Amino acid sequence: MHLKGRLVHVTDVQSDKLQSYITSSENLKSLYKRTLIIVSISQIFGGAGLAAGVTVGSLLAQQMLGTDAFAGLPTALFTLGSAGAALFVGRLSQRFGRRTGLTAGFIIGGLGAIGVIISAILNSIILLFLSLLKYGSGTATNLQARYAGTDLANSKQRAKAVSITMVFTTFGAVAGPNLVNVMGDFALSNGIPSLAGPFILAAVAYILAGLVLFIMLRPDPLLTARTIDATNQISKDNVQLTAENTENKRGIIVGATIMVLTQIVMIAIMTMTPVHMKHNGHGLCSVGLVIGFHIGAMYLPSLITGVLVDKLGRPVMAMASGITLLLAGLISAFAPGDSMVLLVIALCLLGLGWNFGLISGTALIIDSTKTSTRAKTQGAVDVLIALSGAAGGAMSGMIVAGSNYATLSFAGGILSLVLIPVVIWALKEKK
């Protein structure tokens, strides 16, 4: 009886808290800001974990396999792993809330990074591939965390909310590649192959990201938003909110297409850039610098991008993504292999184009979904994004092995132009 009384009391307290967010716009605004801060903190760690695999994954596979033909496999594998994780995290979040789904995803990613370290020590290709699949869970979770910041945002704040969390990802994502040498030396001093060093950072970073969310993300933003929407829909006067809380399938298709195309182009070119640089005499430090600039361009402009997406509209910024990725592909294709400056410019444009596409596409998905099925739909869309990235990573090595890096970059740039007719089609259908 005593236990039952305590449970009733806890339920009543939680109910009172939720009621305070429904009845007070100030309390809801405060919770929205607090949620953004917590998610942003986790993104700093998540960004550092993400950067490890991007920077040295292809080089580690090249070293262990002794060939360039499969150098794109690590990116393909952890991106493929992120596809399964996106579905898992999305469904878990749908049922139990963002806190549970995101925590589980980051912890699994951290365990995958530990597996990569062990595989390098044992020189086990099979363990490496299996571990990279699990490591991809961190990548998927890092991407899905952007949705958590938007659950309590209104329609005019959504792109900005996405952008704020992505800006904080920059701190970890830029620091990660530039710690390649430091972590490599640390690994060697402990009897671990140097290329596995960045995965030590990834393991710690992903697990810390999960712990931050598990401890601090209370009350859960998705469950709170769902409760608020359900309460508001009972009111017959709130016709506008009810209309907003309906699903727009065309918007979901267009948003998903934008993000899928940008992911294919970005992953394909980025994956083979370290291998291309190594063949042209660049050291690991230079590779880390270029990838650091690239990842910085993927996330740092987000705050400005978010404002532009909210003000200029999703379609305008989606088309800007296609044009920017085209420029990145052309510069990568025609730049001399020994030119650090042009490689930095190309990879920065590649990251910026991806940024435009991700934020505009994400905003479209959020606009087009309802809270009762939002996390599940977002997870399904992120599965497509991850699978497209896996395809881009796998094909990139084969294209370069059969032709060259210039062909890969040029093809990627041309493919990005598909975004423009997709957006024009969507606008015509809307009219």
Q: Which residue has the higher pLDDT, 61 or 289?
A: 289
Report CA 216 to chain centroid distance, whole Å.
Answer: 21
Could you give the residue ranges of the DSSP H alpha helices within 239-339? 239-244, 249-279, 284-299, 302-312, 314-334
| pLDDT tens-digit map of 296-309 | 898 889 889 999 99
The first and second tokens of residue 130, run together, are 């299996």
Mean pLDDT value of segment 58-83: 74
d(CA 397, CA 48): 25
Whole-number percent of the chain with pLDDT over 90:
36
DSSP per position, 14-49: HHHHHHHHHH-HHHHHHHHHHHHHHHHHHHHHHHHH
* 237: in domain: no
Within a domain: residue 26?
Answer: no
Least confident of 101-115, 137-151, 311-325: 137-151
The answer as to whether 236 is a domain residue is no
Identify whether 110 is part of a domain.
yes
Contact present, 153 and 32 (Cβ < 8 Å): yes
Taking residues 64-84, report their average pLDDT: 74
Statement: residue 68 has pLDDT above 70: no
**97, 222 Cβ separation under 8 angstroms:** yes
Mean pLDDT across the chain, nearest whole number?
84
| pTM for the whole structure | 0.75
Place of tokens 């150098």: 71
| Whole-angstrom distance, CA of residue 191 vs CA of residue 288 | 22
90 in any annotated domain: yes
- Distances in whole angstroms, Cα of residue 30 to Cα of each of 37, 159, 216: 11, 19, 15
Average of per-residue pLDDT across 224-231: 81
Residue 214 maps to a domain? yes
pLDDT band at 10 (very low <50, low <70, confident <90, very high): very low
pLDDT tens per residue, range 331-372 = 999 988 888 899 999 999 999 999 999 999 999 998 888 887
Domain housing 407: 33-228+246-430
Domain count of the fold of the chain: 1
- The pLDDT assigned to 55 comes to 67
Strands (E), 315-399: none
Task: Tell whether 12 is covered by a domain.
Answer: no
Residue 234 forms part of a structural domain: no
CATH number for 339: 1.20.1250.20
pLDDT tens digits, 129-179:
899 889 989 988 988 888 888 888 877 788 888 888 888 887 777 777 777
Longest distance between any two alpha carbons in the chain, whole Å:
77
Give the lowest-confidence range in 47-61, 92-106, 142-156, 298-312: 47-61
